[in-house]
Amino acid sequence: MKFLILANGEYGELDWYRKQQGFDRVICADAGASMALQIGIEPQLVIGDLDSIGKKELEQLKTAGCRFLVYPVEKDYTDTHLALMLAEKEGATEVTVWGGTGSRLDHTLGSIFSAAVLAEQGIAVRFASPAQMIYLVCDELRLPGCPGETVSVMALVGRARGVTLEGFYYPLSGVTLETRSTLGVSNVITTPDPLIRVEQGILTVFHYPTVKKRSEAGGQSGGW
């Protein structure tokens, strides 16, 4: 089952989200429900402490038949983490997160690390937005991308072994990446829909469709 989670991070151009379809279940993490209403989506369930949703929006969601799982404000998990755990519990095979990243780096990292548990269970996880796509890969990913677009790959926890990149300006074959390494930062797609493979561990793939680079410019870890 394909699950969509709407969190309370940054979204950007909302028309991009309105064009995305094909989800079986929609879960909102607290104020992600407000974004769902703005986009024009009616979620099946809202989870969290509900401290960021207005009364008018709550009534609109209740009228639409939305279920609520309410947690206290003082809890051990973020609302997004709770939504991810619920998706796993309810049989998700794919999870897409909107609004899972933003200016709060602690929340961004918390969401990515908590999603790693799902990836380890074989659930395909991605954080999607118009400007950035983040994939958690435990085996193989055929990345939907075009030549010239920027991609970075990093080990999420500890080491990612047997990392292979095909269709990139800087290819890799069976390489071990460590969390503390920037070897995989700022690569460039040279072939449509390139292949990314990892034999052991979790690889975090950052894809920036709007960031174009000439393949011959700079080194692999150029940039910041």
Q: CA–CA separation, 184 vs 39, rounded Å?
A: 35
Name the CA radius of gyration of the chain, rounded. 18
Give me the residue label for tokens 């897409």.
Answer: 96
Q: CA–CA separation, 164 vs 119, rounded Å?
A: 18
At residue 59, the pLDDT reads 87
Q: Which CATH architecture has domain 2-130?
A: 3-Layer(aba) Sandwich (3.40)
The continuous run of DSSP H or E covering 97 comes out as: strand 94-98
The predicted-structure confidence for 5-42, as pLDDT tens digits, reads as follows 999 999 999 999 999 999 999 999 998 999 999 999 98
Cα-to-chain-centroid distance, residue 48: 19
Per DSSP, 154 falls in state: E
Q: List Cβ neighbours of 204 (8 Å cut-off, separation of 6 or more).
A: 112, 134, 135, 136, 137, 153, 154, 155, 156
Residue 208 CB coordination number (10 Å): 16
Section 99-116 average pLDDT: 94
At residue 27, the pLDDT reads 97
Ranges of each domain in the chain: 2-130, 140-212
At residue 54, the pLDDT reads 80
The model's pTM is 0.91
The predicted-structure confidence for 133-182, as pLDDT tens digits, reads as follows 999 999 999 999 999 999 999 999 889 999 999 999 999 999 999 999 99
CA angle, 97 then 136 then 170, to 5°: 125
